[in-house]
Structure 1
Amino acid sequence: MANTLDDVVSGALRVLDAYGLEFSSMRRVAAELGVQPSALYHHVADKQTLLGLMAARIVADVEVDDDLQKVAHRLREAMLSIRDGAEVVATASAFRLGVSDLEASLAARSTQDVARTLFIYVVGHTQATQLHRQAGAVGIVDPDPDLDDSFDRGLAIILDRG
């Protein structure tokens, strides 16, 4: 049975969650799916395209409504739910791959500048949180009990509630 694009993205996300972005390769995704790496290129042009699709999948279920603070928390949780999720979304955003719909939805409920600032803040803080938690899990750093509260303080500043 041939794999679909959805299968490829799902496989790539499983590899990401198991190995992290640094060790997520097209070869490893192909092995996860039980195919040759060349078979992936029937669905995606290159790894960057796959990263964009992965980022889009990571944020796909984030409901955007008028409560931007809650939206920010939903986005953060979506990225935290998968290893290096924030890094994938950050990479896709930097290269304008796969997350523009979310930004557009944020802008429709605020302004372009607030949406971009909020998006970059949430992704950046989440990326730092993931890195800190991963380092803490292997004993490199002590846990930081202020990560969640500092996230909320930053949101208050951006959303002018500070």
Structure 2
Amino acid sequence: MRDRVRHDRESILDVALSLLDAYGLPDLTMRRLAAELGVQPSALYWHVESKQALLAGLADRIVAEAAPAADVAGAARALRAALLSHRDGAEVVLSSAALSLGALGAHDALRAAFAREHRPDPELAARVLLPFVLGHASLVQQRIQAAEFGAVPAEPATVAEATAADFDAGVAAILAGLPT
């Protein structure tokens, strides 16, 4: 009799994150995940209710990787770094945040950084800055993929670094426009 490995939500998310990194979001299917785990796709639904719930769990994992930061600009940079550290990470977090299914930690981290800086209405400030962070990271990841396919003249490994100054300028512009 073959030994069966028992899976839980965390082990499923571990494998799903590795598949995301290896193949990207379009190829992260419940079928592929089940095959990788050696189970039937229906077995996954004991631990994750739907594909969107799986993606929300991945979004939470990705956001949790953001290093703590003392200030708002640092928190935004740390979040960007976490998003860019996983293939299609920005898209996963963006879609989960848009549906309010996951990635609440991104908003919470920015809100806490605004509160530490004693900014008025940290909640609103976080809601203003977060879409820029997510959108910028998403564009960078699309440029990286375009560079991988040779569609743009850039080395994929340098795209994130080349766009870091633009990101910092955007964060600074948003912060300058918010009440102090």
Query: TM-score normalised to the size of structure 2?
Result: 0.83
Counterpart AA for 2:110: L
Tell me, in whole angstroms, the C-alpha distance in 1 between the residues paired with 2:78 and 2:109: 14
Partner of 1:114: 125
1:125 is displaced (CA, Å) by 0.2
Deviations, residues 58-113 of structure 1 (Å, cap 9, x unaligned)? 01132444411111111111111110000000000000112123313422332122
Structure 1 runs not aligned, ≥5 long: none
What RMSD in Å do the two structures reach over aligned CA positions?
A: 1.7
Q: Percent identity?
A: 43
Tell me, in whole angstroms, the C-alpha distance in 2 between the residues paired with 1:20 and 1:27: 14
State the secondary structure of the residue aligned to 1:32.
helix
State the secondary structure of the residue aligned to 1:44.
coil
Q: Which has the larger radius of gyration?
A: 2
Structure 2 runs not aligned, ≥5 long: 115-121
Query: TM-score normalised to the size of structure 1?
Result: 0.92
Task: Say yes or no: does 1:71 pair with 2:60.
Answer: no
Greater shift after overlay, 56-65 or 69-78?
A: 56-65
State the secondary structure of the residue aligned to 2:43.
helix
Aligned equivalent of 1:142, options 144, 153, 156: 153
* Alignment: residue pair count: 161
Task: Say yes or no: does 1:15 pair with 2:19.
Answer: yes
Partner of 1:103: 107
State the secondary structure of the residue aligned to 2:176.
coil
- In the TM superposition, 1:37-52 aligns within 5 A as 37-52=41-56
Tell me, in whole angstroms, the C-alpha distance in 2 between the residues paired with 1:159 and 1:66: 15
State the secondary structure of the residue aligned to 1:140.
coil
Greater shift after overlay, 92-101 or 140-149?
A: 140-149
Aligned equivalent of 1:4, options 5, 8, 18: 8
Counterpart AA for 2:173: I
Contact (CA 8 Å) 1:44, 1:50: kept in 2 or not?
A: yes
